[in-house]
Chains A and B, each alone.
Chain A
Amino acid sequence: MTEQSVTVAGSPVGGEIVTAAAPQDGTPDTRASVKPKNNRAWFLVLPVVVSVAFTAVIPLMTVVNFSVQDIFSPDDRIFVGLEWFRSVSRDPEIRAAFVRTLLFSAQVLLLEIPLGVALAVAMPRRGIWVSAALVIVALPLLIPWNVVGTIWQIFARADIGLGGWTINNVLGIDFNYTLDSTDAWITVLIMDVWHWTPLVALLAYAGLRSIPDPYFQAAQIDGASAWATFRHIQLPRLRGVLTIAILLRFMDSFMIYTEPFVVTGGGPGNATSFLSILLSKIAVGQFDLGPAGAFSLLYFLVVQIVSYVFFTVLTRAGR
């Protein structure tokens, strides 16, 4: 009896039921099987099904519809099967953009996640500076995407932009994002870091705030260094919020459109033309609905798969 109550101590409620039911017939599940199932609760899900159908499923299906046809005009179209998928996945321009976008997302994650966590750790835990720090950190998040683009478009300009001018004339480095592809890449990358690191920081800060004081006190008593405290107390407890942060930042950066469109327009050359910029060029610029449909479905699939892999790996790592 004692042995039993020790093993079920982790879940006191469940433990009581088991010990109470065990002497009778040894099958604690009988009650669940006797109770008839009532399926009417499914109707409660109906509003969600309807709204998701109208906002997501049906639009997606029209894209699927486009992707298997060659459309010359609304009345003149032919079924081409998977032809567009084949040509899109072999297109060198799209492949280059895919690699470029993947590289961009990887760099975004590598920069923003550690930076955001560092920022969150450095933010005050209590006191009058908490609100000030929160507001200052959150500011970039409050600015609309295209305005962010405009700010950086001007800020990084070599002739009149504060940042660009300083780099050229004070640091003495030749920097011009409209001509040099590396400069353009760096500009877009730093802009994204500026815009979205605060999101990671806020998520991480919320995670850190949820750690009760005794954890830090215990670490002090155990003589843990600041690094050990971070490594063994703060970081493990950030796993949940960092999973969310990584997913959000991956999806968002992999689909980035507005800011590079405003700053570089995808150039110079193809240096910053990411998948979404290319896609909108094909879909809206050239009005090639078939290839664009196939392209966006593949794009969608990649985002799904990578997010799924991230999610699985990150949640499994915690077990």
Chain B
Amino acid sequence: MADIRLEGVGHSYDGGRTWALQPMTWTWRSSRAYALLGPSGCGKTTLLNIISGLLSPTVGRIWFDDREVTAVPTAGRNIAQVFQFPVLYEEMSVYDNLAFPLRNRKYPKAEIDQRVRRVSQLLGLDDHLRRRSRRLDPGRQQIVSLGRGLVRSEVAAVLLDEPLTVVDPALKWTLRSKLKEIHRDTGHTLIYVTHDQTEALTFADEVVVLNEGAIVQAGEPAELFLSPAHEFVGHFIGSPGMNVVPAEIADGVVRVAETDVGRAVGELEPGPVHIGVRPEFARLGGEGTSPGLPVRVTSVDRMGAYNLVHVQAGDHPMIAKTEAEARFAPDTVEFLHLAPDRTFLFRDSVRCGSIAPLDGKGAP
């Protein structure tokens, strides 16, 4: 186990014209469970393949603790990788599959047997060791692929590239908790690539959000939800995502659709900004103590446990999450109250400030 340090690592598939992965410096700390979250094509798999050595980065250096591995081939890095679909040696038994990486490395027979049995016990494969691997269901096959990584106890990290894509939804939960269990028992560093925010948020100690080849924010799941540092994080995490509407700062006051919504907090030049607030923190109601934003209700989605009320603030559509019992009729005018500590200002997509209640008008 080791810290995996990327030093200015970037990758370009077309000789530097565009970066699939923008040069970045980042450390994956030992024994943590990371989720690498981002939309399709944002560079997640590229980053993973660079760590495992399947791909040489165009620029930058990779360190496992104090050992530089930039030029070390995959086999020498001791990385385990699980792919989107189960990759098995299909004509071999489960036992032989698990033993394969050890046999290739010329381990003594007794040790191979001992390690295979330990991993099969850990993964609950004891009853299947003699079966042909391709006869297993896809979920178990994926577990066997994972097991092939875990037999080498000295693995630096286990990389999982959307490993649950082919697995039945019902089985996903089982497998994910199995993964967490394994992480707890073995203490391997896990990097779990996914584009599914639920998967990422429930799985990881730390979620790293990647967009257009760059890490836009990393943090604990709650942090990403409550305090997005980038518009993309606001959009991508949460369901529905954050409301982002154009606003204007003038004389230290933030205006949306010609209504003052709060004082700007932060060193901010006057001028256009984006204001972002999650539907969870936009309260819809009558004219109250806070300076509500007058909005027109356009439609209501009943979600069972809650309602999503679609509104129009000036020309800008927004969504507010309300209780299931709340009744809002389309085409009525209501007031949207933005929670000051959960409403953020963005410039060039990056968070630059937040809002505070206006003087003289109390908290919402």
Which A residues form the contact surface with B (CB < 8 A)? 2, 5-7, 9-10, 12, 212, 214-215, 217-218, 220-225, 228, 232-233, 236-237, 318
Contacts and interface: CB of A to CB of B under 8 A. Distances in A.
Contacts of A7: 137
Given A9-B137, A10-B138, A218-B145, A223 B105 contact: yes
10 interchain residue pairs of minimum CB distance: A214-B83, A222-B101, A223-B104, A223-B75, A9-B137, A218-B87, A220-B74, A10-B137, A232-B89, A236-B91
Given A6-B137, A9-B139, A232-B100, A221 B171 contact: no
B54 A220 contact: yes
Interface in B10-55: 49, 52, 54
A225 B101 CA distance: 11
A217 B168 CA distance: 25
**Interface size class for chain B?**
20 to 34
Contact of A220 (B75, B80, B167, B170): B75
B81 A218 contact: yes
A221 B170 contact: no
Given A10-B137, A233-B89, A221 B80 contact: yes
B138 A223 contact: no
Interface string B75-102: 1000111011101011110000000110
Contacts of A220: 54, 73-75
A6 B100 contact: no
B250 to A, nearest CB: 55
Contacts of B84: 214
A217 B89 contact: no
A6 B171 contact: yes
B139 A6 contact: yes
B90 A222 contact: no
B337 interface: no
A5 B171 contact: yes
B148 interface: yes
Interface of B: 49, 52, 54, 73-75, 79-81, 83-85, 87, 89-92, 100-101, 104-105, 137-139, 145, 148-149, 167-168, 170-171, 174
B89 A223 contact: no
Given A5-B168, A5-B170, A225-B104, 7 more contacts: A215-B87, A217-B49, A217-B83, A222-B104, A232-B89, A236-B90, A236-B91
Contacts of A237: 90
B229 to A, nearest CB: 33
Given A222-B101, A223-B75, A224-B104, A214 B91 contact: no
A228 B104 contact: yes
B168 A9 contact: yes
B187 to A, nearest CB: 20
Contacts of A232: 89, 91-92, 100
Given A9-B139, A9-B168, A221 B90 contact: no
A198 B207 CA distance: 52
Contacts of B79: 221
Contacts of B148: 218, 222
Contacts of A215: 87
Nearest to B145: A218
A224 B75 CA distance: 8
A58 B38 CA distance: 66
A12 B137 CA distance: 10
B148 to A, nearest CB: 6
Contacts of A218: 81, 83, 87, 145, 148
A238 B54 CA distance: 24
Contacts of B74: 217, 220-221
